[in-house]
């Protein structure tokens, strides 16, 4: 084990800080729109060690000053909600050095100083590049002596296109880094509300005793986007199932459905998520026909502005059969969730941007109020990840007024993380994830077996869907998706949250 000479004390644990963060893909949107603004906020919160440096590497020829100016321009747009603090920006940029690098050319790596002068501390390699480059980058880093036992590497999704391709990528990286050194990012896991989901479930006995098939009727997880593909040509070869369902939605499913971990350490949490993925019922031809919907958006209106159909978008083929919307009913075959359906859906060009988890609790068997009030007999817990992170519990109360009798109404007990907390902003997911990477905590990152189990399940779903030649439905941009998605859930006696 390498010597550990610099520590941060937090939550009664000792964490090893990194000395250098190396950003591959330094001129890409991810670095400029997300990573640099997140580092700015960590600098502002004084969470970066004074000695930590940032090496930005990219393929274009920039002088160091030109790159720093370029980053500052993007920070002006993406970093603060209240205006850029120029002194803080300068402090961050004093950490940054830019180097031009051909990722696939081994000789060019010799011209870059990757490791920190403080060899006892880890260097973090963040690969904000296409996954097709992961193998070359790792191999070249190894050949130039830039990898040691304390190094860490960060991988962005997608980890492959299917199970086989994900195994190839993981094998390429795994030749040079152990599993304990690899941080696979799913940015949904860094969201504040996802962290609160763990607190809500495991710190509140009122929910812990109700979190199973005996008390919960059904659960829905929705990730709706109002944007289209925004010129991303890779999407036409990927589709919404691979791009969103395979990672983001299945990760949220795991956190909602997993058993309590033995502790909050990374392996305990990830072990429980793996058990959920292992218990997911495979999608057969029969279940695909009844419980899976795929669709593609046509032209429509978003925020009173006309938008084109998917096949007219830049980056899509005119004859494309790529799905931009999926809805599916899944089941988990274990003692906790036997018989409880989970409805997952995600789509582009929908009415609004929203990601939320809705827990529908079962009603009491005996309803003592007037029979015409039957729709006021159950509770819902709504966990919203975006656009405004919040948790609300819908409860049934009496309408106020002596003339109302015992007429019922729904009211929400609401926790708004901006409105009720002593903060003017909710931290971006990348702020949390970068901080955990710097500290070396893998709790919010995805283990290799999670990736492969998710792909194995999705590959079976895709294969079953193709073999039964299922219809690709259409929906208008600006709607809530195709009508058949509503019929899917209604067949089982349930409703989507917005229809209740």
Whether 248 is catalytic is yes
- CB-based contacts of 138, cutoff 8 Å, min separation 6: 147, 153, 172, 173, 175, 176, 177
Nearest-angstrom CA–CA distance, 450 and 73: 38
- The partner residues of 220 in beta bridges, in order of sequence, read 343, 358
Nearest-angstrom CA–CA distance, 356 and 191: 12
- Secondary structure (DSSP) of 355-379: EEEEEEEPPPSS--S-GGGGGGS--
Q: Chain-centre distance of CA 324, in angstroms? A: 18
* φ/ψ (deg, to 5) at 284: -90, 175
Taking the CA atoms of 483, 280, 383 and 438 in sequence, report the sign of the dihedral they define.
Answer: negative
For 331-364, b/e burial (b = at least 16 CB within 10 A) is bbebebbeebbbbbbbbbbbbeebbbbbbbbbee
Nearest-angstrom CA–CA distance, 247 and 330: 15
For residue 74, give both structure tokens: 């993007």
Q: Chain-centre distance of CA 486, in angstroms? A: 25
Nearest-angstrom CA–CA distance, 46 and 69: 23
Out of 139, 187, 248, 360, pick the active-site residue.
Answer: 248
* φ/ψ (deg, to 5) at 73: -65, -40
> Could you tell me whether strands 152-155 and 300-302 are parallel, antiparallel, or unpaired per DSSP bridges?
unpaired
Give how far Cα 336 sits from Cα of 256, 257, 258, 279, Å.
Answer: 12, 8, 9, 11
Nearest-angstrom CA–CA distance, 395 and 393: 6
Enzyme catalytic residues: 248
């Amino acid at each position: 084990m390498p010597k550990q000479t610099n520590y941060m004390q937090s939550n009664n644990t000792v964490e090893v800080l990194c000395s250098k963060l190396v950003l591959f893909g330094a001129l890409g949107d991810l670095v400029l729109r997300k990573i640099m603004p997140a580092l700015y906020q960590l600098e502002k919160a004084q969470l970066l060690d004074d000695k930590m440096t940032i090496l930005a590497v990219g393929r274009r020829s920039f002088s160091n000053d030109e790159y720093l100016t370029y980053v500052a321009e993007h920070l002006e747009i993406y970093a603060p909600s209240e205006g850029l603090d120029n002194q803080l920006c300068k402090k961050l940029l004093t950490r940054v050095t830019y180097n031009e690098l051909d990722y696939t050319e081994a000789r060019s790596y010799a011209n870059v100083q990757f490791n920190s002068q403080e060899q006892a501390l880890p260097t973090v390699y963040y690969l904000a590049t296409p996954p097709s480059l992961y193998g070359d980058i790792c191999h070249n880093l190894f050949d130039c002596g830039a990898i040691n036992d304390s190094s860490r590497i960060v991988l962005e999704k997608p980890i492959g296109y299917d199970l086989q391709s994900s195994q190839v990528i993981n094998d390429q990286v795994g030749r040079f880094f152990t599993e304990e050194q690899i941080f696979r990012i799913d940015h949904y896991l860094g969201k504040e509300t996802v962290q609160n989901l763990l607190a809500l479930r495991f710190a509140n006995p009122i929910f812990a005793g109700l979190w199973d098939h005996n008390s919960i009727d059904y659960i829905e997880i929705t990730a709706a986007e109002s944007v289209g593909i925004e010129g991303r040509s890779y999407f036409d070869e990927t589709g919404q199932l691979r791009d969103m369902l395979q990672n983001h939605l299945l990760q949220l499913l795991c956190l909602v459905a997993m058993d309590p971990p033995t502790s909050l350490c990374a392996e305990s949490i990830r072990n429980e998520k793996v058990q959920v993925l292992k218990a997911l019922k495979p999608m057969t031809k029969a279940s695909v026909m009844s419980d899976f919907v795929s669709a593609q958006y046509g032209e429509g209106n978003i925020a009173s502005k006309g938008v084109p159909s998917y096949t007219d978008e830049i980056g899509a083929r005119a004859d494309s059969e790529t799905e931009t919307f999926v809805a599916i009913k899944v089941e988990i075959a274990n003692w906790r969730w036997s018989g409880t359906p989970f409805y997952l859906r995600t789509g582009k060009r929908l009415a609004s941007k929203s990601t939320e988890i809705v827990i529908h609790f079962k009603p009491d068997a005996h309803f003592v109020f007037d029979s015409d009030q039957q729709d006021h007999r159950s509770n819902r817990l709504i966990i919203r990840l975006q656009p405004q992170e919040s948790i609300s519990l819908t409860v049934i109360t009496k309408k106020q007024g002596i003339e109302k009798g015992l007429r019922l109404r729904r009211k929400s007990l609401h926790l708004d993380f901006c409105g009720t907390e002593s903060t003017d902003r909710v931290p971006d997911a990348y702020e949390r994830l970068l901080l955990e990477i710097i500290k070396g905590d893998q709790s919010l990152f995805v283990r290799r077996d999670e990736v492969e189990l998710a792909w194995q399940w999705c590959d079976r779903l895709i294969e079953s869907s193709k073999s039964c030649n299922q219809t690709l439905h259409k929906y208008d941009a600006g709607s809530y998706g195709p009508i058949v998605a509503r019929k899917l859930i209604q067949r089982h006696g349930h409703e989507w949250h917005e229809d209740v």
